[in-house]
Amino acid sequence: MFSVKGEEGKQALDRWISWARRCRIPVFVELAGGIVRHRQAIDAALDHGLWQGLIESTNTKIRLLTRIAFGFRSPEALIALAMLALGGRRPALPGRTKHPRISQ
């Protein structure tokens, strides 16, 4: 989401806010004020690489998996499905050969 992260991103944002406050475009002045009001959350996103959109996306995918898993006999099966779908692991399936372009 952000092309510049960490302290460099914070400094770039500080420069933009400073410019926007001096700008004569009312929308930019208003946007700069909104960014300042939410600065703590923006700084956390720059520091840790997490933002609300990513979290909401994961929650939506888990809700979808819960609907798919309706009828499973145990919660462990749902957890296994979620780990397989969202955990980033791609175990080798028996009887399948590795595709040369896909890393395991």
Q: What is the pLDDT of residue 87?
A: 86
Burial of 70 (0-12, 13-18, 19+ CB in 10 A): exposed
pLDDT score at 94: 83
Q: Which residues does 2 contact at the CB level (< 8 Å), separation at least 6?
A: 9, 45, 46
pLDDT at 22: 94
Is the alpha carbon torsion for 69, 71, 73, 75 positive or negative?
Answer: positive
Q: What is the Cα–Cα distance from 50 to 59, expressed in whole angstroms? A: 14
Map out the domains of the chain as residue ranges: 6-50, 53-86
pTM for the whole structure? 0.51
Nearest 10 degrees: CA dihedral of 78, 70, 57, 41?
-70
Q: How confident is the model at residue 98 (pLDDT cuts 50, 70, 90)?
A: low
Per the model's pLDDT, the better-predicted residue between 11 and 94 turns out to be 11
> Would you say 5 and 46 are in contact if contact means Cβ atoms under 8 Å apart?
yes
pLDDT digits (tens, 9 = 90+) for 44-84: 888 887 777 878 888 999 999 999 998 888 999 999 899 98
